[in-house]
Chains A and B, each alone.
Chain A
Amino acid sequence: MSKRLIRDALNIPSSEITSEVVYKQRRRLMQAALSAAVLPAFTFSSFARGAGYDIPDDLPRYPGPVWLRQKLASAVRNPELSVSDELAPYYHAITHNNFYEFGTDKRDPVRYAQKFKTDPWKVEISGEVARPGHYNLEDILAPHALEDRVYRLRCVEAWSMVIPWLGFPLADLIKRFEPTSKAKYVQFTTILDKKQMSEQRSSFGTIDWPYVEGLRMDEAMNPLTLMAVGMYGNALPPQNGAPLRLVVPWKYGFKSIKSIVRIHFSETMPETSWNITAPGEYGFYANVNPSVDHPRWSQATERRLPATLLNPNIVDTLPFNGYGDQVAHLYKGMDLLKWF
């Protein structure tokens, strides 16, 4: 594993990286202290290690805020909605990110997002709902149990990874806030914070910040649509969209908006960032579709990461990213060439 990239990314001099022995000692101490005083029901290691996930000792873990840990640790795998494809190694998932707010290179987010402040966090619920307001993330999550779901993530740039998310169905959240009969669409907004997000300050970007995304109501209510707060048994790393992100596995990755601060219900189709930036290239629906090419490249195949240099690991892209059984009915009668 590349310790250097991580070390450089986190700006930790090598002399300060805790040796494994010391680290384990400390962990045992903390574990003892915690289990004695605060959290008798489970051991520290169950969330520090990420239940069942292989997280190498030289890579950073993201335990998340204290109030979230019990929830993360008690997440249960949902086998019906999980795929059996081989998982992307943790290292790949936390160092290869499209989170343009922190830079447009895949390695920028891991470098520049580590100090991103994700707790406390507020989410605004607005528009056509009975219970609008500004809510603490903790209160938003309170009634929801977390599930562990393994999803394929297909980027519009023709690469893909398989990620185990921790989250809960967006449908459950939506029901709690009681959308009115006028609520036909949901729009999501990423935080706007020029101080923390360098690309939002860039003069050469063409995205009009903040990043916005949206779903039709029936897409939002589909059981596959997930609000994620964690991955690999831990909290979401900042570069992966902490503390709250959307995961819509049958759509291109850019629909799965990160670091959400606003959920807005509306009667009309909301604007979405990539659609505003390049309407000929990115539609509102953005369903994974091997037979509709991006104007500048083919979508028929994808590189499943990790790939090695001598084996690019090219696989055929599936309609709806392989989730056709669950979602194809949502688009019955629609011309998917037109509504790409």
Chain B
Amino acid sequence: MLSDGKMRRFRWWFIFLLLLSPFILLNSNLLTDNLGADPAKVIVQNLGFWAMTSLWLTLAVSPGVKLLGWRWLMSFRRMLGLYTFFYAVLHLLAFATFLVGWRWDILLTELTKRPYIVVGTLALLLLIPLAFTSTKGMQRRLGKHWKKLHILIYPISLLVMLHFVWQIRSDFGQQLIFAILLAILLGYRLYLKRRSS
């Protein structure tokens, strides 16, 4: 049997590496030239997918604690949130570097002509204050305001959903799955709120 401390450390490393593995896999596929004929697009899409998945997992923490009674999950919410930020920043950097080559004229037209890019950028900008106030120190310093600030995660998740849905060409299978999961995650919170009031 593992001691509690060892168990906790094992769990931490396990989840840390699990969420990092898509990034490692992407890099190894890149180095072995296994991303197909348009690696730029694949990288951007893949990073976006994992940003979204991390965000959905972050939102699943408190329902998980309440419904499954896994109190230890709570201590991973910060890590999951920061992974969301990590993948989202890389997603935007990859877009600007690999797809647009930092050509400011194109970046500007993309921002005005591709509405889903505006929505995605807005979501990322809103994530910045959340990432910077994620430390224990900031949590203490902000007190009850911290919770108010971090309510931003709900509008962010809706913006991200819109960012994804707005890119549908013809098949919407993936978007549907993410939308159903988000409806459950947010719906559960609404249900709790209504029951308590």
Contacts and interface: CB of A to CB of B under 8 A. Distances in A.
Interface residues of B, number: 33
Contacts of B43: 309
A297 B173 contact: no
Contacts, number: 88
Interface in B153-181: 166-173, 176
A340 to B, nearest CB: 15
B38 interface: yes
A296 B176 contact: no
A277 B171 CA distance: 11
A226 to B, nearest CB: 23
A2 interface: yes
A206 B170 contact: yes
Contacts of B69: none
A204 interface: yes
A293 B171 contact: no
Contacts of A27: none
Q: Is the interface of B mostly helix, strand, loop or mixed?
A: loop
A305 B38 contact: yes
A95, A205, A293, A307: most-surrounded residue (chain B CB, <10 A)? A307
A104 B37 contact: no
Given A296-B116, A297-B110, A298-B113, A106 B36 contact: yes
Interface in A1-34: 1-2, 4-5
A3 to B, nearest CB: 9
B106 interface: yes
A51 interface: no
Interface of B: 32-41, 43, 97-101, 103, 106, 109-110, 113-116, 166-173, 176
Interface of A: 1-2, 4-5, 91-92, 95-96, 100, 104, 106-107, 159, 199, 202-207, 277, 293, 296-298, 300-301, 303, 305-307, 309-312, 314
